């Protein structure tokens, strides 16, 4: 089952991922990143960053939808991990079914504003996430398990 769906531009990284894995009792990470799915060297780097005993796979948007349709996300407690809101929304448009998405880190840059701890948002990401929420997906912002979460509505109001 999908225990947590998270968008974090850093993907698998240190303490944050380790804490979420423990918090949600996760034993498999499926990273959905079409670009990374074509780069075996970088996949190996990410696999080395993962904690021992956690199954790791890197798949494209299309592969993620197929895996879900065939029940491949039902066997373990899965962290479904996306690098960007764009990839998340593209995958949902292709047929991925989600109930909830945690936004954990979107990076910095021009036009981006901090809306929850260090999580930034720009108008493009905000609009895509609002569209996703209209489709019935609960979207919230949270960096770590001990930091309070924030609704999409409250985060967008800070733009």
Tens digits of residue pLDDT in 12-32 = 887 778 899 999 999 999 999
The count of domains in the chain is: 1
Question: Which structural domain, as residue segments, surrounds residue 105?
Answer: 2-157
CATH number reported for the structural domain that contains residue 127 in this entry: 3.40.35.10
Give residue-wise pLDDT tens across range 89-129.
999 999 999 999 999 999 889 999 999 988 999 999 999 99
pTM of the model: 0.95
Give residue-wise pLDDT tens across range 31-51.
Answer: 999 999 999 999 998 888 888
Give the 3-state secondary structure percentages of the chain, helix then strand then coil, rounded to 5.
40, 25, 35
> What's the longest Cα–Cα distance across the chain?
41
| pLDDT value of residue 159 | 92
């Amino acid at each position: 089952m999908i225990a947590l769906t998270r968008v974090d531009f850093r993907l698998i990284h240190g303490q944050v991922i380790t804490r979420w894995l423990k918090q949600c009792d996760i034993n498999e990470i499926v990273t959905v990143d079409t670009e990374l799915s074509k780069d075996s060297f970088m996949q190996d780097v990410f696999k080395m960053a993962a904690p021992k005993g956690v199954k790791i796979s890197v798949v494209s948007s299309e592969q993620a939808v197929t895996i879900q349709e065939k029940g491949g996300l039902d066997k373990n407690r899965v962290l479904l991990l996306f690098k960007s809101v764009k990839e998340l929304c593209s995958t949902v448009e292709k047929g991925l079914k989600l109930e909830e998405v945690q936004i954990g880190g979107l990076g910095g840059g021009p036009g981006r504003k901090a809306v929850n701890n260090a999580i930034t948002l720009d108008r493009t990401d905000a609009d895509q996430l609002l569209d996703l929420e209209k489709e019935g997906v609960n979207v919230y912002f949270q960096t770590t398990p001990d930091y309070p979460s924030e609704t999409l509505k409250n985060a967008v109001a800070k733009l």
